[in-house]
Amino acid sequence: MIEPLLIDHGLPALFILSFLAATVVPLGSEAGVVLLCLAGLDPTKILLTASVANTLGAVVNYLLGRWGARLWRRRHPKKPSAAWRVARRRIRRWGAPVLFFAWAPIVGDPLTVAAGSLEIPVGRFLAWVALGKLLRYYVIIKGAFLAVGP
């Protein structure tokens, strides 16, 4: 179902998919990146589109964490989920550089939300998240072209 949309709409469809994949919406963008590589789109444009969109999706999580933490603490004093506690502990222990792993499955989204709730400075947040996502997509794109061959 997503495949025809990606092929027909190319980079705009990848932007939406990559953006949503970085939020709490349960989607992945890796297959879309590979599909567009195999369809012959410019790998640099794919890299930039997916990286920017995925980073912007993480910013949504950051803002939800920043805004939501205050509201949540007032209304729900019970303990947060295990993933949330782990993410907060890691950010407190290792600081903003742990946000390099915001692309990682399961813990990536909670890391970005926790960063917002801990009010990590936006510049540091963006630098580490964008770097991690850019390198991740670079590896995916390189892998797609290596798998196909010359």
Q: What is the DSSP letter of 79?
A: P
Q: Is the dihedral of CA 32, 37, 41, 45 positive or negative?
A: positive
Cα angle value 113/23/41 (rounded, 5°): 135
Least confident of 2-6, 60-64, 145-149: 2-6
What is the structure's pLDDT at 103?
92
Contact 13, 32 (CB under 8 A): yes
Which of 19, 17, 24, 20 has its CA nearest to residue 111?
Answer: 24
Q: What is the DSSP letter of 104?
A: S
pTM of the model: 0.83
Residue 37 pLDDT grade (very low, low, confident, very high; cuts 50, 70, 90): very high
Domain regions of the chain by residue span? 2-148
pLDDT in tens, 62-109: 999 999 877 776 776 666 667 667 777 777 788 889 999 999 988 899
pLDDT in tens, 98-140: 999 999 988 899 899 989 988 899 999 999 999 999 999 999 9
Q: Which two tokens stand for residue 124?
A: 């540091």
